[in-house]
């Protein structure tokens, strides 16, 4: 097994942190104070919030409510146990809050801690009156908590709408960055967040971002899947003029890398290699870029509407036009009237529909031993839609490494 390496997910000038810590207590109506993130997302009966959290002794965790017994979607700690607030009431679960990292997952009317069902309430229809908070529970007042937060994802009826990472922004302010909206969220309370240690750029893989809780029981995360010219993933999403695809891949040969088109010159949203250079397909044409392809390195490809970036460098650009491809986009090939296959390794694949994340695919083996990709947005497994089988990369170990004062490549 190996530790998986991911590229930076933050804008230039941002510093990724291991966590942010809140030190709040009490509530704002009665002299309490503390720090919190206003997520801007208002939960309802079908919401889901997944946080990696270390309890530090405070009562309130995250969420929003009108009152304890009305329009409640929150998590807090009562008598040392995680408590679910949902709909018209609360129920204290069986799992203890600990001063160690735990995955706390409130999925509609159920609360899981590290994958273990802690408590369940009756499913009811409601919508909170306030946007959910991280580090507090928002009511007419704010009920503060004391805890560390390493990550937080929010889903609206199965669709990922927030994916928060602890960080410092370019001005040095501590907060969280949402990779869905590409937006920084600062402290809306008093004082300042305590900043965890920096996740060093020279060792981006200090910890694995996609933890086992992100995959169904029995699934195993892989470093990559590899195509050999007959395999592909049908993503089920049909690109248009405002689509964005960000993927990490290693090209090994062949023609298509991803996408869909009617023809080279019609309704085209794709990428391929022509004359040993990366080529953008968009709208009614193609443009071969200035950056040469290679078959030995991992690259980050960012196809944002009519522009193609390779490892952050603009490779090619075409005129913006309105269109919709005739087929869903493929990974490992270009879908057209016929399939145009490529050969290569695929490590991650994100699709945005006019700025909204609609697919977040990671390589894995499912519980039946089939190699494919799992989508964290739709929570679905995508198998090979071609012939033969994907080659499975190494299985990725889910571990956490603490490294301090170590020089890597001359950088400490």
Q: What is the mean pLDDT of residues 219-224?
A: 92
Q: What are the two backbone dihedrals, phi and then psi, of residue 214, each rounded to the nearest 5 degrees?
A: -75, -20
Report if residue 412 sits inside a domain.
no
Dump pLDDT digits (tens) for 325-355.
Answer: 999 999 999 999 999 999 999 999 999 998 8
Instruction: Decide if 405 is inside a domain.
Output: no
Q: What is the mean pLDDT of residues 238-252?
A: 95
CA distance 356 to 354: 6
Q: CA-to-CA distance for 166 and 16, rounded, in angstroms?
A: 6
Phi, psi of 260 (to 5 degrees): -155, 155
Clarify whether residues 159 and 248 are in a common domain: no
Is the model's pLDDT at 378 over the cut of 70? yes
Q: Of 138, 169, 200, at which residue does a domain stop?
A: 200
Are residues 186 and 232 located together in one domain of the fold? Answer: no
pLDDT of 408 above 50: no
What phi, psi does 198 have (nearest 5°)? Answer: -70, 135
Question: Domain for residue 397, yes or no?
Answer: no
Q: What is the pLDDT of residue 225?
A: 97
Cα–Cα dist 145/21, whole Å: 10
Query: 155, exposed or middle or buried, with CB in 10 Å at 0-12, 13-18, 19+?
Result: buried
Same domain, 43 and 190: yes
In a domain, residue 66? The reply is yes
> Is 1's pLDDT higher than 90?
no
26-50 pLDDT tens trace: 999 999 999 999 999 999 999 999 9
Please check the confidence at residue 387 and state whether its pLDDT lies above 90.
Answer: yes
**Does 53 lie in the same domain as 141?**
yes
For residue 300, give every residue at least 6 positions away whose Cβ sits within 8 Å of its Cβ, in sequence order, or none: 7, 246, 247, 248, 309, 310, 311, 312
Q: How many of the other CB atoms lie within 10 Å of CB of 295?
A: 12
Same domain, 349 and 382: yes
Domain CATH number, residue 351: 2.60.120.200
Q: With 70 as the cut, is the pLDDT of residue 4 above it? A: no
Residue 17: C-alpha distances to residues 12, 167, 196, 283, 372 (Å): 14, 5, 6, 40, 31
Q: Which residues pair with 134 in a beta bridge?
A: 37, 62
pLDDT tens digits for 366-376? 999 999 999 98
Distances from the Cα of 173 to the Cαs of 90, 247, 356, in angstroms? Answer: 35, 29, 26
**Bridge pairing between strands 243-254 and 299-304:** antiparallel
| Confidence category of residue 114, pLDDT binned at 50, 70, 90 | confident
Q: Identify whether 287 is part of a domain.
A: yes
Q: Is residue 298 part of a domain?
A: yes
> What is the pLDDT, as a whole number, of residue 199?
78
Whether the CB-CB separation of 334 and 255 falls below 8 Å is answered with yes
Does residue 223 contact residue 375 with C-beta atoms inside 8 Å? no
Residue 225 inside a domain? The answer is yes
Residue burial 251-278, b: 16+ Cβ < 10 Å; e: rest: beebbbbbbbbbebeebbbbbbbeeeeb
pLDDT at position 206: 32
Tens of pLDDT, residues 252-282: 999 899 999 999 999 999 999 999 999 999 9
Distances 291 to 92, 308, 310, 316 between C-alpha atoms, Å: 57, 11, 8, 9
> Which domain covers residue 311, as residue numbers?
220-392
Quick one: 325 and 259 in the same domain?
yes
Q: Is the domain of 110 the same as that of 257?
A: no
Q: 95 and 83 in contact (C-beta within 8 Å)?
A: no
More confident position, 151 or 212: 151
pLDDT value for 283: 97
Q: Indicate if 40 and 114 belong to the same structural domain.
A: yes
Backbone dihedral angles phi then psi of residue 181, each to the nearest 5 degrees: -90, -10
Tell me: do 154 and 45 sit in the same domain: yes
User: Are 228 and 376 contained in the same domain?
Assistant: yes
Task: Quickly state the pLDDT bin for 397 (edges 50, 70, 90).
Answer: low
10 Å CB burial of residue 156 (0-12, 13-18, 19+) is middle
CATH number of the domain bearing residue 42: 2.60.120
Q: What are phi and psi of 347, to 5 degrees?
A: -105, -30
Which pLDDT does position 207 carry in this prediction?
Answer: 35
Residue length of the chain = 412
pTM of the model: 0.58
**Residue 215: inside a domain, yes or no?**
no
Question: How many domains does the chain divide into?
Answer: 2
Do 254 and 287 lie in a common domain? yes
Report the pLDDT averaged over residues 379-395. 95
If asked whether residues 226 and 162 sit together in one domain, one would say no
Which one is predicted more confidently, 75 or 378? 75
Mean pLDDT of the chain: 89
Give pLDDT, residue 5.
41
């Amino acid at each position: 097994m190996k530790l998986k390496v991911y590229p930076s997910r933050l804008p230039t000038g941002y510093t990724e942190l291991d966590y942010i810590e809140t030190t709040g207590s009490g509530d704002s109506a009665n002299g309490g104070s503390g720090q919190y993130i206003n997520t801007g997302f208002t939960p309802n009966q079908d919401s889901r919030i997944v946080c990696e959290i270390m309890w530090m002794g405070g009562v309130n965790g995250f969420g929003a409510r009108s009152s304890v017994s009305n329009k409640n979607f929150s998590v807090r700690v009562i008598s040392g146990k995680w408590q679910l607030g949902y709909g018209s009431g609360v129920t204290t679960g069986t799992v203890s809050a600990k001063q160690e990292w735990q995955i706390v997952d409130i999925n509609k009317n159920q609360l899981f801690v590290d994958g273990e069902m802690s408590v369940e309430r009756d499913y009811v229809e409601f919508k909170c009156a306030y946007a959910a908070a991280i580090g507090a529970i928002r009511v007419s007042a704010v009920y503060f908590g004391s805890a560390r937060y390493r990550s937080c994802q929010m889903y609206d009826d199965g669709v990922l709408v927030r994916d928060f990472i602890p960080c410092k922004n370019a001005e040095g302010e501590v907060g969280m960055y949402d990779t869905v909206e590409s937006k920084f969220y600062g402290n809306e309370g008093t004082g300042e967040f305590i900043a965890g240690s920096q996740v060093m750029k020279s060792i981006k893989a200090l910890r694995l971002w996609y933890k086992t809780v992100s995959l169904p029981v029995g699934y195993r995360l892989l470093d990559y899947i590899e195509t050999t010219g007959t395999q592909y993933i049908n993503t089920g999403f049909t690109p248009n003029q405002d689509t964005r695809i960000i993927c990490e891949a290693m090209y090994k040969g062949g023609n298509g890398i991803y996408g869909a088109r009617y023809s080279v010159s019609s309704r085209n949203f794709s990428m391929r290699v022509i004359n040993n250079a990366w080529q953008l397909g968009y709208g009614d044409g193609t443009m071969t870029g200035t950056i040469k392809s290679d078959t030995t390195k991992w690259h980050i490809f960012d196809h944002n509407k009519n522009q193609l970036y390779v490892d952050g460098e603009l490779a090619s650009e075409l005129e913006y036009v309105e269109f919709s491809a005739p087929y869903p986009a493929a990974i490992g090939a270009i879908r057209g009237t016929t399939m145009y296959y490529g050969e290569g390794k695929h490590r991650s694949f994100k699709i945005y529909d006019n700025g909204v994340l609609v697919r977040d695919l990671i390589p894995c083996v499912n519980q039946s031993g089939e190699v494919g990709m799992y989508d964290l947005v739709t929570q679905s497994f995508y198998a090979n839609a071609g012939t033969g089988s994907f080659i499975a990369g190494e299985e990725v170990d889910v571990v956490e490494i603490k490294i301090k004062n170590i020089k890597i490549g001359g950088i400490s």
